[in-house]
Chains A and B, each alone.
Chain A
């Protein structure tokens, strides 16, 4: 039981993090992902762990895994062909969605085609009202007819999503039982079982995605577990979740929607852990890869949570670590429009063909090529030597831009970087405004293959205090999965205006959730330790359309005046005012249960025994001028080392770029703590 392994399978690379419980040591590894032969990357990774690090499968006592198989299924729409059974006269729920379209100035705007086409939607005679009372009993004949229609239409499964199933799921349950009887073997899903929120489109859509990805996820997990068994890993498989926790594979098979954002969420958990260890209370995580750039806000070790995260063309409405996309990452393509204005993105070279300098067929200039032309990367191999950088190709690609603008190639590269950073700044600034936070005392914690390359530039634009680069930024997601707690969310929709008479309902709802939560943790997940329960209520003034989450004490669930007070206080803290006379509605009670997993004792970095010695000086183009930067090798840096920008720190999984004016310090754990120069 000594070794804990976390594996994150991404589009290009698969990352391994191995924690030795005995001494807290962390071993990391990166191998190519194998979309052509899923599971093969695990075999390869375990082989290398054995040969390079002497880590044996038999010693592994805990195994977590994050995967993009679910999200890819939604993007490619190649999952289960579902039929949808709705309440009759509400069959167009997925067609109408919430009406609004993103690009509303374009007369050609369309909503994406529904995940379940209208010809596979069947109305069922039944009706429950908002109080849960039955207005029209479930008509079994209409269910039978719908089952016949669904099978005739080629449906491979059925989603049952009736109005007000958040309040009373009896009709959904009865319909499910009936369908199973009529069509044994046909997969059946219920909206109220997957995530019972109020708002029919959001609940139906979330359940549709969950059902759509289910068989592929299940097959994938079966194969993955087989592979682990063959390798001789004796422990069960745990899957990382969108909410930043982990769950057993059985739950992942049944509740696929929980794992769609597992990779991004566990990266944030890893970032939160590193920041807490380093004593940084307020951070923003910055994860830039070849095709994505994401930020998240973490305060006191807790990420911001939200719902409505984007999956392909749709949103899912389950509690998730709130991660915001700020662009397409290092592969974003630069171009010049017909008016001579430089643009970056939204086109991306992706991971294939990728940047020109990767020499894998890409010819158009990307952000990564601009960074290469500037001399900031390429001093060591990239991606653990998996990629060799071809500077000539980068110069040729960026040279096209330079000649269009009639400027030297280095200047073009510099302006591409600056423009790319300003685009990331704009999207990050929107996130900062949305959360209403002041980032001037935040640190930017950079990871992913390209995060450390661009972090200093972005932090400077945002006027943030510092940049933090952990020792192994490329494998933070894998490590995050490793240390994530067992965690599950439970909700009850209450939808009541708060008055003393509501107290018994709240107490009853909490009791139900508490029992469910403890059963989940101790029985289903087999966790023997202490359960941590945290309760929040989503509340609003009557008439408002958005709820705000208010943390509550479990013990004070019946103290209505205290709950109302807590809401006023929270509203005032967020918005600067509160209306003490207005009626307050409590819409949702949410209980989060978690069981803590052991955390690594991050090993301190050996102390420095002299000043940091650069490997050599390299010519770079930085902030509009040719200059020289000191090149450091990361593995040679020791705790207590300090030096000034311009500097480049190269390591096998990424390169950190430090412009002039920044100060680098290596902390106790080997993190690079880079101070951003004060503005003006």
Chain B
């Protein structure tokens, strides 16, 4: 049949069905719990040039809809029918972004020509390396993060490459699981190939070949239409992860969004230098790398949920990713925990766009969902390693309604594990699982409450990890007059004299009887909380979401004996100065009183001029010197320049600083 613009949706439907078929095959046959519980996988149809044009409609990681496989496709010289290629190296083509993600791709031939590729990845539970599961914030180089397979043919003309599989096998902790996952991926691309053949037979090759380009064009036009409605301008936003390494300094993500007509630029200049920890993101500086544009995808889709998500969606966008920073690490840097950093890129994207279209977007979800894992043993001596599920914050408040509790916003894809399953599987006792009162940022529409989980362990040598934790120092901000949420907490034996507050750490050793409590970070509110309808505040009090004290303090609503007291409420609300703009919370306000945007500009400029290996170290030195008050009398810009001169001289890093001072 002939295909043109008006009946394009028919081809799009068939392509989505093919991607769905790949995803179902993967989900039915994979072993990794990442596939089954957190759906950390992708299945995609990409053009011969590598541009994603179809993805599953209801599952899979929400990060990869606009991926460009081009750079990695081009690393294989020639393709033949029946080939299947793979890589998990974050620095080969920058499609894979940390080593547990094994990406594979298969060319689909039609009469000797490549009609498209079917591609996908699974997050494997372990690919070897220094620590079980291959991921830890403490790792400093990529070699510690497990075995890496460069782009190669895993299957050549239908014949599997046993040598590669054997090498993989002896380098990982759970080889059977990896093997099962790899077989699932191969089954998935084979189904994808068959379905593409059916689509070509159905529509004819010329219609297919031009149709997939038109699908990209259509998404691009939709995206441009959305961007055109966003006021032109430059919007800056920064936020901080609590630590840039174990016990380290805050980690800054800075973004300038420039909207011009129907195009948008996301400039990450000002973000922290490449780190000696695994928070780096490997993007190769690709202007449309999907993991620095995840936030943009959310924004565009939220502004118009009819938007088709594919590589065309990202065409009007361009990212600026300075080399040797957390958003564009040089080869060799550890990248395992880049998901925490990626979340920060989403948060600053939301903050920037909220300035442009404050009535059309939500306050951010906090990020920093602790993925709780426990290693303990039963009375039968059997060691048990298990994930207890995510414990995090809710969704941010919106211009229309409160944020959802427990999870939401950019974390709405997460799934929890039932208490009954955890207790049946793992020899622990869960003492509490629910929502934490007063954790949400107040607002006309408040943020979602944080989840709380408290559990007791019964075996010596029990280790609890809370990977991905964040927001124990800096709150999740409120917008348009809404207030910031509460920070997250991680404690051992709370409410006892021996209580241990674990700060921003993500691991704790326990003895029999110890109780661990994790409270996620609350999401920020939207709009001035003193304008919230008193009835809504009363409902929150009745639901146990807000205390009577917080109702009075944060909302100016007096509640007495389960009812709003009118005159007292009027008195509380009288004389209230209307709140506007962002609320970052006291900790960040205090931090930025020292580490201002100007000071950061100086720091960024200097660090950009020294070799990558020095950057994280020198950043630490700057923080020490500023804390010690060295040259403080000079004023912040001059102080930073003086400190820079001292440091460069001391380490013999003779860099031309004159231009940096401009």
Contact = CB atoms under 8 A, between A and B. Distances in A.
Interface string B139-183: 000000000000000000000000000000000000010001001
A130 B543 contact: no
A436 B9 contact: no
Interface string B410-450: 10111110111101100001011111000000000000000
B8 interface: yes
A522 B176 CA distance: 50
A338 B225 CA distance: 10
Contacts of A433: 20-21, 23-25, 191
A199 B221 CA distance: 45
Contacts of B8: 341
Given A96-B406, A100-B413, A415 B429 contact: no
Nearest to B1: A624
A89 B435 CA distance: 9
Given A107-B361, A419-B7, A119 B542 contact: yes
Contacts of B218: 339, 341
A546 interface: yes
Nearest to B426: A130
B434 A336 contact: no
A422 B13 contact: yes
Given A105-B301, A129-B423, A425-B14, A199 B414 contact: no
A179 B282 CA distance: 60
B395 A109 contact: yes
Contacts of B202: 461, 679
B435 A92 contact: yes
A556 interface: no
Q: Interface of chain B, helix or strand or loop or mixed?
A: helix
B421 A108 contact: no
Contacts of A579: 176
A201 interface: yes
Contacts of A183: none
A125 interface: no
A200 interface: yes
Nearest to B365: A107
A109 B401 CA distance: 10
Contacts of A501: none
B28 interface: yes
B576 interface: no
Interface string A541-583: 0011110000000000000000000000000001111010000
B409 A545 contact: no
Interface in B7-58: 7-10, 13-14, 16-17, 20-21, 23-25, 28-29, 31, 33, 36-37, 58
Contacts of A130: 420, 423-424
A577 B180 contact: yes
A422 B409 CA distance: 31
Given A118-B544, A119-B542, A163-B419, A108 B9 contact: no
A515 interface: no
Nearest to A96: B406
A336 B409 CA distance: 30
A99 interface: yes
B415 A100 contact: yes
Interface stretch (B302-310, B484-492, B499-507, B645-653): B302-310
A111 B411 CA distance: 13
A107 B398 contact: yes
A181 interface: no
B594 interface: no
Contacts of B187: 576
Q: Interface of chain A, helix or strand or loop or mixed?
A: loop
Given A105-B309, A108-B362, A426-B17, A89 B183 contact: no
Nearest to A135: B429
Interface in A80-112: 89-93, 95-96, 98-111
Contact of B201 (A495, A576, A679): A679
B400 interface: yes
Contact of B21 (A407, A429, A624): A429
B561 to A, nearest CB: 12
A672 to B, nearest CB: 25
Contacts of A382: none
A351 B7 CA distance: 27
Nearest to B35: A545
Contacts of B20: 426, 429-430, 433
Nearest to A100: B415
Contact of A340 (B5, B414, B418): B5
A660 interface: no
A164 B451 CA distance: 21
B539 interface: yes
Q: List the 4 closest pairs (A to B, CB-CB), nearest first.
A: A92-B434, A433-B24, A118-B543, A89-B432
12 contacts: A91-B434, A105-B309, A107-B396, A107-B409, A164-B423, A342-B9, A422-B10, A426-B14, A426-B17, A461-B202, A495-B424, A543-B33
Interface of B: 1, 5-10, 13-14, 16-17, 20-21, 23-25, 28-29, 31, 33, 36-37, 58, 62, 176, 180, 183, 187, 191, 198, 201-202, 218, 221-222, 225, 297-299, 301-302, 305-306, 309, 350, 361-362, 390, 395-396, 398, 400-401, 404-410, 412-416, 418-421, 423-424, 429, 431-435, 451, 454, 539, 542-545
